[in-house]
Amino acid sequence: EVQLLESGGGLVQPGGSLRLSCVASGLTFRSYAMSWVRQAPGKGLEWVSAISGSGDNTYYADSVKGRFSISRDNTQNTLYLQMNSLRAEDTAVYYCAKYDRYYYYAMDVWGQGTTVTVSS
Amino acid sequence: DIVMTQTPLSSPVTLGQPASISCRSSQSLVHSDGNTYLSWLQQRPGQPPRLLIYKISNRFSGVPDRFSGSGAGTDFTLKISRVEAEDVGVYYCMQATQFPLTFGGGTKVEIK
């Protein structure tokens, strides 16, 4: 069974930084693209970023471009999201998702999420 | 960017009755490879999203056959043939034809 476990969320001041992690198990991690999706309190889903299986290709939403950086360590089966210059509007639950670009072209496995709160 | 618009915002349904959700994209979701990468996700209260349907009409593993997807081009529909109590939640369409990936605003299905 494929499982994704996020960590690293917390309370941070505006302008601060945070690094989220997502550990994957039950899959050949390096074979799959991965993605981060967030959900602000009481709001809908917003795609944040994606990365190819090799890590060579990265993609970002305009709302986070230049501030967030996605990366992965395929030897540790871990996905990361480095978040800098955080703003109040970045407050959300951040989900890690397996992004199947071979067959489904959809996010077929999701973690439980980690909560980021940006506030002074 | 492709804008995904879902209607209705909310759908109160009687148990055992059908429900239908519409999703419209601001441009065609047909990829250059000929496929259409439109998926539907369900988010039950307090839970992460869960994939229901991929490539317009294909049910993901374990998804009951009361869920069905249809459509083409820019207009898509998710139907629940007979709503059960466990179907309560918010449903999202998502396009993966091009970056940035985009979601619809969500449709809340609740029991009347």
In the sheet that holds A78-83, the strands lie side by side as A3-7, A18-25, A78-83, A68-73
The partner residue sitting opposite B92, judged by closest CB among A45, A61, A108, is A45
Strand, helix or coil for residue A69: strand
Q: Find, in chain A, the residue whose alpha carbon is nearest to that of B100.
A: A61
Identify which of A34, A38, A111 has the alpha carbon closest to the alpha carbon of residue A80: A34
C-alpha Rg value of chain A to the nearest Å? 13
Judged by a CB distance cut-off of 8 A, whether residue B100 touches chain A is: yes
Residue B69, token pair as written in the block: 């997807």
CA angle B22, A98, A102 (to 5 degrees): 80
pLDDT exceeds cutoff 90 at A61: yes
B48 — contact with chain A (CB < 8 Å)?
A: yes
Q: What is the CA radius of gyration of chain B?
A: 13
Contact residues, A window 41-70, toward B, CB-based 8 Å cutoff: 44-47, 50, 59-62
Q: Which phi-psi region, left, alpha or beta, contains residue A24 (left: φ > 0; alpha: ψ -120 to 50)?
A: beta
Taking the alpha carbons at both ends of chain B, their separation in whole angstroms is 36
B17-51 pLDDT, tens digit per residue, is 999 999 999 999 999 999 999 999 999 999 999 99
Q: What is the DSSP letter of A60?
A: E
Model pLDDT for residues B51-105, shown as the tens digit of each residue: 999 999 999 999 999 999 999 999 999 999 999 999 999 999 999 999 999 999 9
By C-alpha distance, the chain A residue nearest B58 is A104
Candidates A37, A45, A107; nearest CB to B51: A107
**Res A104: pLDDT:** 87
